[in-house]
Amino acid sequence: MAWRARSDSDSPTKATTKDYRRFAVARDPRTCAYSVLSIGEYHSGPNARKPRRAATNATIAPPPPPALSRDQFAQGAYLTYLGGGDRCKPMPHYLRSLRCALAEARYLNRTLVLDLTLCLAASYADAGTGYMPEEGKRLAFYVDVEHLHSQVLIMEERQFWADWDRWGAQGQLGARLIEDTRLVPNKFSKVRDTLIIRRFGDVEPGNYWYNVCEGDAKSVLRPLKGVIRWAPSLMCIVDDIISRMQGDFDSVHVGGSSEDLTRRIEEGVDGGRQVYVAGVGFNSVLVQALKVKVSVHYLDEYADLWGTDSKWFLEMRRLNGGVPVEFDGYMREVVDREVFLKGKKKAEVLR
């Protein structure tokens, strides 16, 4: 039988976790009393989420989408954003702007022309890159692009402009240019041009994509719930970390460092429990101090899950055309936060 575990009654509903562990149960034929014969591993029950898909060939990049014919291309309706100040900004900023573009594309019932690479902000870089922004990062390293495609029609930017140069640049297909980010999309939702171009200026912050969804547009462009999901490759690491802790752990998020940090963490957790510590301000001194009371776990303890022999490393190399991919600062942040959120009891410890 499958078993679902919930957080303690004091936890908020949103913190509810699901275990789906399999139990083998027998009944005594004389007394009708039940007894547990065996307890399965974490997520061993039939209602557990199925294992995430793995790479079928870790050395070959995924094939490009099939090319469109002229008729197929001409029958489409497209939306693209040009320019803007969102490049190389922190990921929360980038994802906010991406959600806005996706919302407008869905509202207009148009295919969003999108650069499927991004510039990773310097705040997520390491010493090997000189703490500089990194161009050319694939969106699929961080976000479930297949799910994105299932929510909104998307066409890769390079492929679109190659097709446009062949069939649209000579005036065969219409294009509408919009340079006012404050123009609400219902004002041009009926245009019949093949392409709508929103062009953004050079002055920040007025040239951020997310401004399209502000002001009067708020009543029209509602945020798309669940449109952004983390990449399956990252969530596999999250699942593996949770599995190693048997799905039964508390979690603490450390938001800074201070002299009384150990005491404040101990106040937030119960003795004898497994505790996953996420966030910044966490070091070996703190680990040793906490080990007296609890079994401490933290992200770097599981570095083999993104090492050169890991499934994650092979999958990323496949996506990247055979070129190895670094487990960068934002990937660490995503995995760290997702494991923290799966804790049965959670505590925030801030400076």
Asked if residue 200 lies in contact with residue 219, where contact means CB atoms within 8 angstroms, the answer is: no
Beta bridge partners of 276: 251, 297
> Which of 185, 219, 253 is a domain's end point?
219
- Whole-number pLDDT of residue 54: 47
- Whole-number pLDDT of residue 49: 61
More confident residue, 40 or 81: 81
DSSP state of 143: B
When pLDDT is cut at 50, 70 and 90, the band that residue 58 belongs to is very low
Does residue 288 sit in the same domain as residue 343? yes
Q: Give the predicted TM-score (pTM) of the model.
A: 0.80
Does residue 78 sit in the same domain as residue 211? yes
Domain membership flag for residue 89: yes
Q: What angle do CA 235, 140, 148 make, to 5 degrees?
A: 90
Does residue 215 sit in the same domain as residue 75? yes
Domain membership flag for residue 54: no
Q: Tell me: the pLDDT tens digits for 2-11?
A: 444 544 444 4
Asked if residue 44 lies in contact with residue 21, where contact means CB atoms within 8 angstroms, the answer is: yes
Burial 277-309 (b: 16+ CB within 10 A, else e): bbbeebeeebeeebeebbebbbbeebeebbeee
Domain membership flag for residue 50: no
Does residue 171 sit in the same domain as residue 267? no
Whether cis (ω within 30° of 0) applies to the bond prior to 65 is no
State the Cα–Cα distance between residues 92 and 65, nearest whole angstrom.
28
When pLDDT is cut at 50, 70 and 90, the band that residue 288 belongs to is confident
- Please choose, from the candidates 73, 82, 75, 72, the residue with its C-alpha nearest in 3D space to the C-alpha of residue 115: 82
Q: Tell me: the pLDDT tens digits for 296-320?
A: 999 999 999 999 999 999 999 999 9
Domain membership flag for residue 137: yes
Domain hosting residue 21, numbered range: 2-39
Does residue 77 sit in the same domain as residue 183? yes
Does residue 248 sit in the same domain as residue 270? yes
State the Cα–Cα distance between residues 21 and 47, nearest whole angstrom.
9
State the Cα–Cα distance between residues 348 and 251, nearest whole angstrom.
9
Does residue 111 sit in the same domain as residue 157? yes
Q: Residue 276, SS3? A: strand
Domain membership flag for residue 261: yes
Does residue 239 sit in the same domain as residue 179? no
- Whole-number pLDDT of residue 48: 66
CB count within 10 Å of CB 263 equals 11
- Whole-number pLDDT of residue 128: 65
- Please choose, from the candidates 268, 233, 217, 188, the residue with its C-alpha nearest in 3D space to the C-alpha of residue 338: 233
Find the mean pLDDT for residues 28-57.
Answer: 65
The domain total for the chain is: 3
Q: Residue 295, SS3? A: strand
State the Cα–Cα distance between residues 53 and 291, nearest whole angstrom.
36
Domain membership flag for residue 65: no
User: What totals of helices (H) and strands (E) does the chain contain, helices first?
Assistant: 9, 14
> Could you tell me what percent of the chain has a pLDDT over 90?
57
Does residue 244 sit in the same domain as residue 176? no
- Whole-number pLDDT of residue 52: 54
Domain membership flag for residue 224: no
Chain centroid offset of residue 192 CA = 35
What does the block give as tokens for 275?
Answer: 């505790």
> Could you tell me what percent of the chain has a pLDDT over 70?
82
Does residue 284 sit in the same domain as residue 245? yes
What does the block give as tokens for 269?
Answer: 């957790």
Does residue 75 sit in the same domain as residue 215? yes
Domain membership flag for residue 330: yes
Asked if residue 18 lies in contact with residue 4, where contact means CB atoms within 8 angstroms, the answer is: yes
Does residue 290 sit in the same domain as residue 197? no
